[in-house]
Amino acid sequence: MEALVCQKIGDPTLPLSDSSPITISKSLPIPNLSSPTSVRVRIQATSLNYANYLQILGRYQEKPPLPFVPGSDYSGVVEAVGNGVGRFRVGDRVCSFASLGSYAEFIVADEKDLFLVPDGCDLVAAGALPVAFGTSHVALVHRAQLKPGQVLLVLGAAGGVGLSAVQIGKVCGAVVIAVARGAEKVQFLRSLGVDHVVDLSKGNVIESVKNFLKERKLKGVDVLYDPVGGKLMKDSMKLLNWGANILVIGFASGDVPVIPANIALVKNWTVHGLYWGSYKIHQPHILEDSLNELLSWLSKGLITIQISHAYSMSEANLAFAAIKERKVIGKVMLVMNTSAGARSKL
């Protein structure tokens, strides 16, 4: 089968060649069903997350031995089932996530780890749901317990996890403030009905948010969702209410912020470090419930998955470049059986 292989640590945005960090292999064996409850999925689409980019660069917390097939969340069609499988049949449309291996034509998963994609939902888009929306749902609904009327501030709001947090915030009835860079991202966020959008490339974020809060007679921010870190996070702490929840999601800026414990004490802040993937080991039922709720929201049209770029496997370097250059609004996908050059800004 065809798969994308990370041969060595390095920059995945380099053009694919025999010596590039990522290469295409056409000779990997199709994975066998590994147990009676295993299911083989023919992958239709798989998403690029910032973590996949960091992993190939060698800057992610999990460092698999080389060579490896990267990739985490995916969607596709059931192609074969073990003789103990009860929940799925050949032809079913499914989505799921793995710690590695989704940048390939086929993947094998246990049936308990697969989710049925509801009728009417786009199969390609469903491949982008688990990691981004799953992370934001566990963070906002399970950890911060976001309530209607609370003020949610989302940093990196046009990125993969950021845009999902914005939408989940709206579903929960929060007043959502979004921070993103550039006119295109700002316009898109406004089109979603976000209550206030700040353009990072223009003016002072803190002043803009303070003016909005004053206009709306709101005291401050109740929940801070932070996939960016650095100075933006540090400045954002000035906006937090007494009793606020801080969701530490990631460090796209490359700078890990310091949250002063003395201020957290005085202001009764709760700081949540959140590593979504580790719920699979420690509390898998939380992930399962969360993804089921998200799929039901998707089928009711309460959330939508915005795919800004889709590429074929042989164009994976361009997909990683879109992430590196901060061009993405929502998600970047690798779509199988798409000829090179057929990709577009959807």
Ligand X SMILES: NC(=O)c1ccc[n+]([C@@H]2O[C@H](COP(=O)([O-])OP(=O)(O)OC[C@H]3O[C@@H](n4cnc5c(N)ncnc54)[C@H](OP(=O)(O)O)[C@@H]3O)[C@@H](O)[C@H]2O)c1
With CB under 6 A as the rule, give the number of residues binding ligand X.
30
Task: Find all residues with CB under 8 Å of 300, minimum gap 6, and list them.
Answer: none
* Residue of 66, 275, 296, 345 interacting with ligand X (CB under 6 A): 275
253 binds ligand X (CB under 6 A): yes
Strands (E), 158-217: 175-180, 196-199
Name the nearest CA neighbour of 158 among 179, 128, 137, 134: 179
Instruction: For residues 140 and 293, give the distance between their C-alpha atoms in angstroms, rounded to a whole number.
Output: 13
The radius of gyration of the chain from alpha carbons, rounded to an integer in Å, stands at 20
* Residue of 109, 227, 244, 295 interacting with ligand X (CB under 6 A): 227
* Residue of 161, 176, 221, 244 interacting with ligand X (CB under 6 A): 161
274 binds ligand X (CB under 6 A): yes
Q: Which stretch binds ligand X (CB under 6 A): 11-19, 141-149, 159-167, 295-303?
A: 159-167
178 binds ligand X (CB under 6 A): no
* Residue of 41, 166, 174, 328 interacting with ligand X (CB under 6 A): 328
Name the nearest CA neighbour of 329 among 201, 159, 203: 159
Q: Which stretch binds ligand X (CB under 6 A): 29-37, 86-94, 154-162, 283-291?
A: 154-162
Q: Please tell me whether the peptide bond between 148 and the residue prior to it is cis, using omega within 30 degrees of 0.
A: no
How many Cα atoms within 13 Å fall on the side-chain side of residue 324?
A: 14
249 binds ligand X (CB under 6 A): yes
Name which of 234 and 326 has its Cβ closer to ligand X: 326
Name which of 40 and 185 has its Cβ closer to ligand X: 185
Min dist CB 230 to ligand X, Å, is 7
Give, as one character, the DSSP assignment of residue 31: P
- CA 178, distance to chain mean position in Å, is 16
Min dist CB 231 to ligand X, Å, is 10
How many Cα atoms within 13 Å fall on the side-chain side of residue 2?
A: 14
* Residue of 107, 125, 158, 177 interacting with ligand X (CB under 6 A): 158
Q: Which stretch binds ligand X (CB under 6 A): 62-70, 80-88, 212-220, 323-331?
A: 323-331
User: Residue type for 309, please?
Assistant: H
Answer yes or no: are the C-beta atoms of 127 and 98 closer than 8 Å: no
Min dist CB 322 to ligand X, Å, is 9
Instruction: For residues 178 and 225, give the distance between their C-alpha atoms in angstroms, rounded to a whole number.
Output: 10
- Binding residues (CB under 6 A) for ligand X: these are 49-51, 131, 135, 156, 158-162, 180-181, 185, 200, 227-228, 249-254, 274-277, 323, 326, 328
